[in-house]
């Protein structure tokens, strides 16, 4: 428990974001973006995009590129280097920027205990930002070439801690032989955690790529071997790959009410916005009445500072969203109100008494229950 509290303090303290913010600012200075902002002094997003096209050769008409400029403006505004008034951004002197609890030295401090793998992945993405903004393709794919990088990233201590907390909040220990779906299982970190924590659950693991299958299978088998040593019978995992499910927007190959729990971690930002509601309705279809859905994501910082009040978690979401935008399929973090609307529209209701009714850790963890017919 003390270890959990320590990691959660580091997450709220923005261990990776403090370092990544400094790196993004250095890139923006080096690439000339900040210089153009200073020169314009007062500008709209469209004004800045036009200057970046003309002066720096940015190709902002496709992919996530124009959204990345918007994210950068939001980040600089969050930190106080920009302020917005009457639809325009106004450059503020650097000395007016506010980064609570962080000076120039602290911004590059090596707070690595919760960010191993995570920060390295972010740096790899950031290295691709200059060429991506100038029209190059996505630099990180869900394939065998990049599988090791995804493994380190998704296995960082922050995500492992959040998965464990999410599993605890889902209350699966009270359900004997729970039918459990791990959606987009990736390298299998969630599978290992779920099988280790709940030895009797019946797991189905689904992904739209086979790039992680061997790694995920090895982690599941390691957890099963540990369970066997503790006297539990091994419950086989059912594997479903791209031959049966091609990705978001496609129906999942299971009957109505097939599962008691769906575990969905780090995949939400890859759902195309046009089908996001349909994807959550599909998850609702798969759950039996009273079944639980657990989601791990980040929420885009809301202007009201209601759903994501922590400064460093707001910066974490903006810096993370910015750099992962170079990855194939990235759609970005949704705001908490949008997520709430999608979940309610899909037939879910809040099941855990936490801030906002359905989420906690500044709207990063969501646990909801499928409504029963008589609710």
What is the three-state SS of the chain? CHHHHHHHHHHHCCHHHHHHHHHHHHHHHHCCHHHHHHHHCEECHHHHHHHHHHHHCCCCCCCCHHHHHHHHHHHHHHHCCEEEECCEEEECCHHHCCCCCCCCCHHHCCCCCCCCCHHHHHHHHHHHHHHHHCCCCCCECCCHHHHHHHHHHHCCHHHHHHHHHHHHHHCHHHCCCCEEEEECCCCCHHHHHHHHHCCCCEEEEECCCCCCHHHHHHHHHHHHHHHHHCCCCCCCCEEECCCCCCCCCCCCCCCCCCEEEEEEECCHHHCCHHHHHHHHHHHHHHEEEEEEEEEECCCECCCCCCCCCCHHHHHHHHHHHHHHCCECCCCCCCEHHHHHHHHHHCCEEECCCCCCCCEECCCCEEEEEECCCCC
d(CA 52, CA 234): 58
How does pLDDT run along the chain (375 residues), one tens digit per residue? 456 666 677 777 788 899 999 999 999 999 999 999 999 999 999 999 999 999 999 999 999 999 999 999 999 999 999 999 999 999 986 545 555 544 434 444 444 444 568 999 999 999 999 999 999 999 999 999 999 999 999 999 899 999 999 999 999 877 778 999 999 999 999 999 999 999 999 999 999 999 999 999 999 999 999 999 999 999 999 999 999 999 999 999 999 999 999 999 999 999 999 999 999 999 999 999 999 999 999 999 999 999 999 999 999 999 999 999 999 999 999 999 999 999 999 999 986 544 445 677 889 999 999 998 755
Considering just the CA atoms, what is the radius of gyration of the chain in Å? Answer: 21
What pTM does this model have?
Answer: 0.92
**Nearest CA-CA partner of 127 in 136, 15, 145, 273:** 136
On whether the 149-299+334-370 domain is CATH 3.40.50.150, my answer is yes
Q: Using a pLDDT cut of 90, give the percent of the chain over it.
A: 81
- Give me the pLDDT at residue 16, please: 87
**Nearest CA-CA partner of 166 in 301, 300, 359, 344:** 359
pLDDT tens column, 142-193: 999 999 999 999 999 899 999 999 999 999 877 778 999 999 999 999 999 9
- Give me the pLDDT at residue 7, please: 67
- Give me the pLDDT at residue 177, please: 85
Phi then psi for residue 289, to 5 deg, are: -50, 130
Q: List the domain boundaries for the chain.
A: 2-139, 149-299+334-370
């Amino acid at each position: 428990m003390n270890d959990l509290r320590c990691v959660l303090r580091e997450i709220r303290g923005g261990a990776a974001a403090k370092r990544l913010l400094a790196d993004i600012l250095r890139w923006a200075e080096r690439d000339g973006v900040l210089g153009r902002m200073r020169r314009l002094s007062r500008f709209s997003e469209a004004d800045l995009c036009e200057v970046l096209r003309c002066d720096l050769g940015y190709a902002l008409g496709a992919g996530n590129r124009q959204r990345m400029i918007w994210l950068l403006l939001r980040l600089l505004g969050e930190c106080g280097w920009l302020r917005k008034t009457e639809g325009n951004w106004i450059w503020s002197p650097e000395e007016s920027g506010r980064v609570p609890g962080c000076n120039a030295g602290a911004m590059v401090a090596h707070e690595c205990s919760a960010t191993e793998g995570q920060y390295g992945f972010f740096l790899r993405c950031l290295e691709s930002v200059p060429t991506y903004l100038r029209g190059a393709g996505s630099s990180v794919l869900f394939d065998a070439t990049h599988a090791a990088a995804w493994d380190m990233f998704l296995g960082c201590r922050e995500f492992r801690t959040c998965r464990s907390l999410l599993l605890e909040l889902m209350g699966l220990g009270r359900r004997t032989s729970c039918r459990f779906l791990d959606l987009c299982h990736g390298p299998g970190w969630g599978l290992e955690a779920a099988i280790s924590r709940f030895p009797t659950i019946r797991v189905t693991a689904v992904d739209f790529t086979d790039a992680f299958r061997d790694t995920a299978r090895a982690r599941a088998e390691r957890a099963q071997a540990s369970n066997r040593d503790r006297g539990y019978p091994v419950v086989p995992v059912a594997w479903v790959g791209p031959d049966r499910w091609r990705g978001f927007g496609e129906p999942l190959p299971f009957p109505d009410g097939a599962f008691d729990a769906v575990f969905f971690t780090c995949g939400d930002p890859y759902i195309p916005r046009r089908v996001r509601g349909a994807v959550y309705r599909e998850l609702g279809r798969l759950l039996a009445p009273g079944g639980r859905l657990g989601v791990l994501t980040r929420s885009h910082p809301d202007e009201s500072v209601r759903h994501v009040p922590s400064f460093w978690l707001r910066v974490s979401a903006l810096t993370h969203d910015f750099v992962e935008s170079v990855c194939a399929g990235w759609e970005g973090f949704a705001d908490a109100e949008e997520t709430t609307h999608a979940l309610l529209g899909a037939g879910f209701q809040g099941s855990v008494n936490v801030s906002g009714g359905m989420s906690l850790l500044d709207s990063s963890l969501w646990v909801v229950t499928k409504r029963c017919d008589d609710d």
